[in-house]
Structure 1
Amino acid sequence: MARLILFNKPYDVLSQFTDERAPVRRATLSQFLQIPGVYPAGRLDKDSEGLLLLTDNGKLQARISSPRFKLPKSYMVQVEGSPSEEDIAPLRRGIALKDGTTKPATVRVVDPPALWERVPPIRHRKSVPDTWLSITIAEGRNRQVRRMTAAIGYPTLRLVRWSIGDWTVDGLAPGEWRETNA
């Protein structure tokens, strides 16, 4: 039976088990998970937080990470500024990025979510408001959500992947994990 691990990846941690970059080693998954034979199913940028799935099964890993299977990925995204419905409409239609037009996303403005404190915290500026968006995509290009919000003029301040398919990070503090059914 395939193992499936739900991990709440903290900010500033690489989505890999080793870091060969010199001279300074960066935080990796090995500091949180000592489970032999599991590998990430997809990636989450160093400066992003939230759900990362790990498995010991190659077919499951491909099903989770491949855009071919259109597994929805939902994010809580704090952006700089106050986008209107008109501002976020291009994300719902699909927006042109340098590597092509994205598939339409599900996007809505939401109240600030009850999340853990980020270390280090987001820098707040009194003169610039921020807004939280819920964004769901079914593809996974490099830094896609950040590039999408930047393309409409609202840079991402904080990005937390909340769910992949039916699996969520709910109930897991940063650095915590649990095993679940695949």
Structure 2
Amino acid sequence: MPRTILFNKPFDVLPQFTDRGTEGTPRRTLSDFIALPGVYPAGRLDRDSEGLMILTDDGRLQARITHPRHKWPKTYWVQVEGLPDAAALDALRQGVTLKDGPTRPARLRRIDAPPGLWDRNPPIRQRKSVPDCWIELQITEGRNRQVRRMTAHVGHPTLRLIRAAIGPWRLDGLTPGNWRDAPKPGPG
């Protein structure tokens, strides 16, 4: 029977099982947290990002999650520098033009700090003279560092990025470094 798991990837963990880096000191990878043979990530999450990753041994499901034609929504909690005004938020909602072309429109809203938010190690940089805020942003594509590039484009660099949901699956209390089995989604 196919297996699908939800994993809350901590900050500074590579989204792969081996470290092919040349930095000399081994970096933490998924193998530091998950000892299940045959499951592989369905998509990536940058080393400096946190949150939900889906791992599965079902190749068809993996392709459905990752292929752009399926447009699976990915929801992020994004702590940004500054307080975006209505024009900046509207630009993100409509889609912005990055170096690799226009993004699809995003769904977003300003939120309070997410409930149950864990501390990050190391903490984000804090500047007394520059406020920050949280937004919840949902996209249906997954370009390299897309959310970070989008918020920077509208003048509000990302300080912390947590993926909260992929399609029907959510973090829902899953703490960093832990995983749980997930039901397979229905057809679609």
Q: TM-score range by the shorter chain?
A: over 0.9
Aligned to 2:54: 53
Aligned to 2:171: 169
**Higher mean Cα deviation, 165-174 or 38-47?**
165-174
2:143 aligned with 1:137, yes or no?
A: no
Residue 170 of structure 1 and its aligned partner are, at CA, apart by 1.3
> What does 1:6-21 correspond to in 2, within 5 Å?
6-21=6-21
Write the distance in 2 (CA, Å) between the matches of 1:20 and 1:157: 27
Q: In structure 1, what residue type is equivalent to 2:20?
A: E
Q: In structure 2, what residue type is equivalent to 1:6?
A: L
Aligned to 2:67: 66
Superposed CA deviations along residues 48-91 of structure 1, whole A, max 9, x for unmatched, are 00000000011110111111101100000000000011111111
Residue 118 of structure 1 and its aligned partner are, at CA, apart by 0.7
Q: In structure 2, what residue type is equivalent to 1:16?
A: Q
Question: Counterpart of 1:88 in 2: which secondary structure?
Answer: helix
Q: In structure 1, what residue type is equivalent to 2:9?
A: K
**Higher mean Cα deviation, 6-15 or 58-67?**
58-67
Q: In structure 2, what residue type is equivalent to 1:9?
A: K
Give ranges in structure 1 of 5+ residues lacking alignment.
Answer: none
Superposed CA deviations along residues 93-131 of structure 1, whole A, max 9, x for unmatched, are 110000000000001111111211111111211111001
Write the distance in 2 (CA, Å) between the matches of 1:49 and 1:148: 18
Question: Counterpart of 1:47 in 2: which secondary structure?
Answer: coil
Aligned to 2:76: 75
| TM-score using structure 2 length | 0.95
Residue 159 of structure 1 and its aligned partner are, at CA, apart by 0.2
Aligned to 1:110: 111
Write the distance in 1 (CA, Å) between the matches of 2:111 and 2:55: 29
| TM-score using structure 1 length | 0.98
Superposed CA deviations along residues 130-182 of structure 1, whole A, max 9, x for unmatched, are 01010000000000000000000000000000000110111111000001111
Residue 42 of structure 1 and its aligned partner are, at CA, apart by 0.1
Write the distance in 2 (CA, Å) between the matches of 1:37 and 1:59: 14
- What RMSD, in angstroms, separates the aligned Cα atoms of the two structures? 0.7
Question: Counterpart of 2:61 in 1: which secondary structure?
Answer: helix
Residue 26 of structure 1 and its aligned partner are, at CA, apart by 0.9
Identity %: 62
Aligned to 2:87: 86
**Higher mean Cα deviation, 44-53 or 121-130?**
121-130
Aligned to 1:158: 160
Q: How many residues align?
A: 182
